[in-house]
Amino acid sequence: MNPISPVLIAQVTDIHLFAAENHQLLGIPTTESFKVVMERLKELKSEIDLLLLTGDLSGDGTSQSYDNLQSLVNQLQIPTYWLAGNHDCAIAMNEILNIGMISRRKSFQRGNWNFILLNSTVTGCVHGHLAPNTLNWLDSELAKLGNNPTLIALHHPPVSVNSAWLDSSSLENSKEFLAVLDRHPQVKLVLFGHIHQQFQRQRGNVGYLGTPSTCIQFRSNSPTFSIDQKTPGFRLLKLYPSGIWETSVERVPYFHPLELAAMGY
Ligand SMILES: [Fe+2]
């Protein structure tokens, strides 16, 4: 690898696959919309170094949904890492999503960057929380890995996203999480899912990035639940060895008539 060339990461999130491939989430057949995102990733395949799947990969937590996911993702032949969201079943994921190009490892290196993936889920809850063990592991992993630029990913946003209804189900103990990051200035980026929309904020030296879902989109800056008509998407990140990063969100041309009136939204 060229010492000054960046690694290209694709963040794909909130896929919400179901056991039945025609199952819909709020009117969107999630397998169909994910397949359109997959088509775009196939076009970019030779440039992408790795895929990060940041939770709510399943909508029903079934083993079949993860079987469906792994057989689709493995077609890309891109090294893939993942973490759990509130709709996921961590036990089934650990068993199934560790095959072919998909790894369940939660700490790894690529192109001078370190990557640490955290489980912020709480069984039976929509909001997130990082357990003491997880925070301790993060702190010791950051100390052990040293000064290389570092990207951390988790499902729940650790900062406010300016939507009261989403902020009420974000990371409950973000203060403790941010306190760990403040001790390790090599952390450059925090990636999350859960909010089904594009979001970017800088806090100190760290960029906080939220990313559209591959299915339904939520309206930004809305105090209450609100669907956005934007199309599904994903995020690309260029990570340079120096710690500099660039990012963009891509949307795919997938349109499906939402039956919102019938659902009362
Ligand atoms: Fe979520």
114 C-alpha vs ligand 1 centroid, how far in Å? Answer: 24
Average pLDDT over residues 18-26: 88
249 C-alpha vs ligand 1 centroid, how far in Å? Answer: 19
56 C-alpha vs ligand 1 centroid, how far in Å? Answer: 5
86 C-alpha vs ligand 1 centroid, how far in Å? Answer: 5
- Looking at residue 263, its pLDDT comes to 46
Helix-then-strand count for the chain, H and E = 7, 16
What is the full DSSP assignment across the chain?
Answer: --TTPPEEEEEE----B-SSTT-EETTEEHHHHHHHHHHHHHHHTTT--EEEEES--BSS--HHHHHHHHHHHHTT---EEEE--TT--HHHHHHHSSSTTEE--SEEEETTEEEEE---B-TT-SSB---HHHHHHHHHHHHHH-SS-EEEE-SS-SS--S-HHHHTTSBTTHHHHHHHHHT-TTEEEEEE-SS-S-EEEEETTEEEEE---SS-EEPTT-SS--EE-PPPEEEEEEE-TTS-EEEEEEE--------HHHHT-
- Looking at residue 59, its pLDDT comes to 95
- Looking at residue 76, its pLDDT comes to 97
57 C-alpha vs ligand 1 centroid, how far in Å? Answer: 9
Pick the closest to residue 202 from 188, 183, 212, 217 (CA basis). Answer: 188
- Looking at residue 1, its pLDDT comes to 54
pLDDT digit string, tens, across residues 38-53: 999 999 999 999 999 9
Question: Ligand 1 is a single-atom ion; what residues have CB below 5 A from it?
Answer: 56, 85-86, 194
pLDDT at 257 over 80: no
Structural domains present in the chain: 7-251 (3.60.21.10)
- Looking at residue 102, its pLDDT comes to 98
pLDDT digit string, tens, across residues 115-168: 999 999 999 999 999 999 999 999 999 999 989 999 999 999 999 999 999 999
- Sequence-ordered alpha helix ranges (H) in the chain: 30-44, 63-74, 90-96, 132-145, 164-167, 174-182, 260-263
pLDDT digit string, tens, across residues 57-98: 999 999 999 999 999 999 999 999 999 999 999 999 999 999
126 C-alpha vs ligand 1 centroid, how far in Å? Answer: 7
pTM of the model: 0.95
What percent of the chain clears pLDDT 70, i.e. is strictly above it?
Answer: 95
61 C-alpha vs ligand 1 centroid, how far in Å? Answer: 12
54 C-alpha vs ligand 1 centroid, how far in Å? Answer: 9
- Looking at residue 138, its pLDDT comes to 98
200 C-alpha vs ligand 1 centroid, how far in Å? Answer: 18
pLDDT at 262 over 50: no
What percent of the chain clears pLDDT 90, i.e. is strictly above it?
Answer: 90
212 C-alpha vs ligand 1 centroid, how far in Å? Answer: 12
